[in-house]
Structure 1
């Protein structure tokens, strides 16, 4: 989950311009300084940062973090705000605000500008409708959804365009020569070999039970680990087409439908033809003569270096559209097996043979009535469910409660236990809603407030649910007594992890003092794994697409002759890694084509580094002051470790 969160915050050049770009395509964070932008007077008040002449308020930062979290939760319904902030959400968004302000001021100081007409063009392009022209309603809907006003969105687009003017040319500037790329081209062929020792945490876990005070303190320090995601109790009622009364189809309606569609019930005829298009008339005459003499059309066409094709069932009008009215008239006057042409068309000379004739007799009103009645009944059923749905929607929009809607429509009202975003109920492990209810659950966790009625489509045009969120239980750890056993087990492993860490560090110190890894491990005491040989070729580390094992990833980032520690996640222990041997091919042996291939992405990487340096320089010139105390206070507020009014 944490990895997925980190992906929200982009790559190198993207870090400089991502926020404005996201705004432009309609996925921005909500802006607006909730507290207002009062003067700093240094860094007092409710401002978390000052960048040159721009002040960043606590309210603005809080709003952006909340909006970013809400959007992230649409992809990860179980994501808690605490986990989002701990994964770097607050810091990344604050950095982005600072970078944007610095780059905007830097660009203006360098004489760059953005005209109102250019901003208008960007808005018109981003919010164009199906016709390609600006869609005012779509634009207004976006403003309402994102919380932006006209001035704010224009300011963000201006920032984007100013940053692009500065960063884009610089990012595209570097061109790396193939010779410079050779050291990078040999990297996939590099081989490394070393040793690893594993120090497990479990053997060193305390056996005695700690006091409840110790466990409560451990819970406070690891609150996110034991937090149960937000749960919601839903009330819902189902309705479908079978429960909606449908008016009967009358004879008058059948007669009217028959009259309105008279051509479809009249007698008709379709024909299927085999034909070949010939470039010149003489060749067409030759093919036609052979076919009339008994040669199959396909054979005659093949002998002339051509191929014949067979049409589907065509009406006279349809055949006329592909040839000419005269050719179609002749074709529909001929008999099955007759040969037609050559007839001149836009593509050449056509020779055709009538393959089949299908006559469809006229249908009387009595003959057509069953089909017409069935179709009308289907249409009426669709109209009835749409009318019913709209009536329920109007009631909900009018403020009617879910209980009132269910009572008025005589629908069965169902109440769920407290549900997680995946539809499971922690308090009732055996509880499960039918899979078709998934759209309702997803909708209920995407911004619905308590008591707000909504409709969800379960089966398109057939089945629906009207629902509301009865109550919301915020994400929090369960009661202490309920999770004491889990806390105890986790605490023991965490304490064992500390001992394993100390032993790993002692082994590293011994190796750095001249002992071999095997000697240091042997002197560290029992319950430590034996020394294993590890290594391989760099190019094979991610061959299966699953990423390199952590110990190999570390091995390939170390200097030869060094030794390092590696923590195993989940309090499972520590590893000690020693790098003994590095074998890298001579760069003179590198194929020039391989070097040229590597040079292209290297140029982009160097460009990214230049853009990063540009952002650093922009911040240096503007001057950046961060109120770390306020940032940490906001962090505690967002993670639930301090009262909101702190």
Structure 2
């Protein structure tokens, strides 16, 4: 909602410092030790900056730039390094790294810190490191680090610094306070209603105009080549290998199935679980008194209630013998699982106290024979054998490439079928090749294909984990360029005709706007136009409804809330379709006094916004008092290297 009042106020730094999913935000490697100015100099070097004696190196900044670019390419496959850097990304990332180092150093001076145990707990909470059961998994952890191309030490250092930042910044963010009266005024503004009219001056209503000359078409093409530029295209040669190329090599044998069944005999054996209730008391005398009451005829629930335990306190649910042994002791588990249904066991001692346990129910699951589980065992074995075999093939191919083998030699030796794509963009499109459909296996290869240098050695890429792989090379690179005018002349001519019609439409719309702002009613101003135009349309909107729709609001409707009453303004129709004339006629103020929930919501958002500003102010203050020395020569050299492609990963 508040974006309607003040756009762009929410701090990106706040998201970084206070975010819970640390790994999902930005992982940077810096603070590699050392002190003094090291290689800081005027003409380049390995150090971008020194912050309170800690170096930020060109490699660390380069790695972070590549990681962030890689993440953005997941949503924008055609984004290249040059475009990324033209947006100011290198400067922003460097500033971010410097600010983080400075605030972490300031926090350490204030006595803040993050122990190894604190970092361990933070790592365990990161979803990227958890298995399907939501638990920390070492193998998943290692794979994620490898994918992000960072070491465990880098991650730990990153998390420790962010935890110090949070300790430093959270009090600042949480100290914001907005009076209810101020929030009420802004809440009332959300309930404001505005009414007006919208009229369209379509470019199509202007007619085609005169025929453009060849010189005019050529000139328009020259000045607008950007709109006709086809992104860089690459021709990819690849060969897929997967389970379907292994033949019978991954098939499970009878001996393997039998051995797997025997190794997991406990899994397939009959199982017994028991539904239990228990009371744990601190001393033996109280436990014996409880057991005697039950032996004397009192129900377990009644005796437990007299001792101060409700049914929810005593019920521990269905337990296996092994699980209950971990909960209590092996001896008590043996006794409980030897008792009959309805029996009471105890008192027995454990580290928790004295247990009195009732067997509420006994559940038995029959075992499964080899014949019953043969299919699932075979599937599991074959999946593992296939994964191992494919890993062997991939390793064999990579070793051959490392020894100098060409793509063709590898394909022939492994008896794979190679295929070539047409020239494709990073998104998999093939401009100039109508009706071409990319094969399913191509999409996972595109990212790597557009990171490879032309004529680089072949690489092995994953198509589907543990299922399919591909060995690939880039055989041709077509730079981004506009097609020759002769190939797209009709399109350029049409665009020029539309541009001219749009310009004429703007002149008509501007004349209508002037009349309306001089006092002519909108309907009359449109009727007096030099061309026949569609009638004006009345529009009404509430500011809160505009806020709820986010960016999906028609632009003329949104413009109502930026116009002074009684005035008109022009707005272009998308894709050069003409112009809108938007006129605001009436404003009805809102009253939030009867909507306390809205006031509370606005107040909460204002508190967040102001908290973000406090964080930014604190960060700027820390930066100003910190010893920060930048190596502008090294920064400029790195930027040139990245733009030339020399440091991209």
**Fold shared, TM-score > 0.5 on shorter chain:** yes
| Aligned residue runs from structure 1 range 597-608, under 5 A | 597-608=601-612
SS at match of 1:464: strand
Structure 2 match to 1:237? 239
Q: Which runs of 5+ in 2 are unaligned?
A: 1-6, 32-39, 45-59, 130-135, 280-289, 301-310, 349-354, 627-631, 645-649
- Does the 8 A contact of 1:269 with 1:359 survive in 2? yes
Aligned counterpart in structure 1 of residue 193 of structure 2, from 191, 194, 198: 191
Q: Summarize the Cα distance change of 1:454–1:549 in structure 2 as closer, same or farther, 3 Å threshold.
A: same
C-alpha separation between the residues in 1 aligned to 2:322 and 2:160?
59
Residue 337 of structure 2: aligned partner: 328
Q: What are the residue-to-residue correspondences of 1:78-477 with 2, within 5 Å?
A: 78-79=78-79, 89-91=86-88, 173-204=175-206, 206-244=208-246, 254=255, 261=262, 264=265, 270=270, 272=272, 277=277, 280-281=290-291, 324-329=333-338, 341-344=343-346, 348-351=356-359, 380-446=385-451, 449-477=454-482
Displacement of 1:391 after TM fit? 0.8
Query: Is the partner of 1:418 in helix, strand or coil?
Result: coil
Counterpart in 1 of 2:576?
571
Q: Compute the displacement of 1:612 (Å).
A: 7.1
Query: Per-residue deviation at 1:583?
Result: 0.9
- The aligned counterpart of 2:12 is 14
The answer as to whether partners of 2:229 and 2:482 remain within 8 angstroms in 1 is: yes
**Structure 1 166/198 Cα, relative in aligned 2: closer, same or farther at 3 Å?**
farther
User: For residues 608-619 of structure 1, what are the structure 2 equivalents within 5 Å?
Assistant: 608=612
Other structure's SS at 2:512 match = helix
Aligned equivalent of 1:336: none
Q: Distance in 2 between matches of 1:246 and 1:415?
A: 28
Distance 2:24 2:380 in 1: 46
TM-score, structure 1 normalization: 0.66
Structure 1: gaps spanning 5 or more residues = 1-8, 41-59, 291-302, 332-338, 640-646
1:442-501 alpha-carbon deviations (Å, 9 max, x no partner): 432355654332222333323221111222222222222222121111121111111122
SS of aligned partner of 1:465: strand
Q: Which string of whole-angstrom CA distances, capped at 9 and with x for unpartnered residues, describes residues 158-180 of structure 1?
A: 99999999987766554210012
Q: 1:236 offset after TM fit, Å?
A: 0.8
- Aligned pair count reads 561
Corresponding position of 2:558: 553
For residue 186 of structure 1, give the secondary structure of its aligned residue in structure 2.
helix
1:72 and 2:72 matched: yes
> Which residue, 489, 495, 499 being the options, matches 1:490?
495
Q: Which whole-Å CA distance do the structure 2 matches of 1:26 and 1:330 have between them?
A: 57
User: Could you say if the C-alpha distance between residues 501 and 19 of structure 1 is closer, same or farther in structure 2, counting changes exceeding 3 Å?
Assistant: farther
The structure that has the greater radius of gyration is 1
Inter-partner Cα distance in structure 2 for 1:100 and 1:260: 54
5 Å-filtered alignment, 1:44-83, equals 71-79=71-79
> Matched residues in 2 for 1:259 and 1:593: separation?
62
2: CA distance between counterparts of 1:575 and 1:475?
A: 35
TM-score by length of 2: 0.65
Provide closer, same or farther for how the CA distance between residues 448 and 500 of structure 1 changes in structure 2, counting only shifts above 3 A.
Answer: same
SS at match of 1:387: helix
Structure 1 segment 522-537 matched on structure 2, within 5 A? 522-537=527-542
Deviation at 1:233, TM superposition (A): 0.7
The alignment partner of 2:580 has SS state of strand
Cα deviation for residue 566 of structure 1 reads 1.0
Alpha-carbon RMSD across the aligned residues, in angstroms, is 6.2
**What is the alpha-carbon distance in structure 2 between the residues aligned to residue 256 and residue 159 of structure 1?**
51
CA distance in 2, matches of 1:247, 1:369: 19
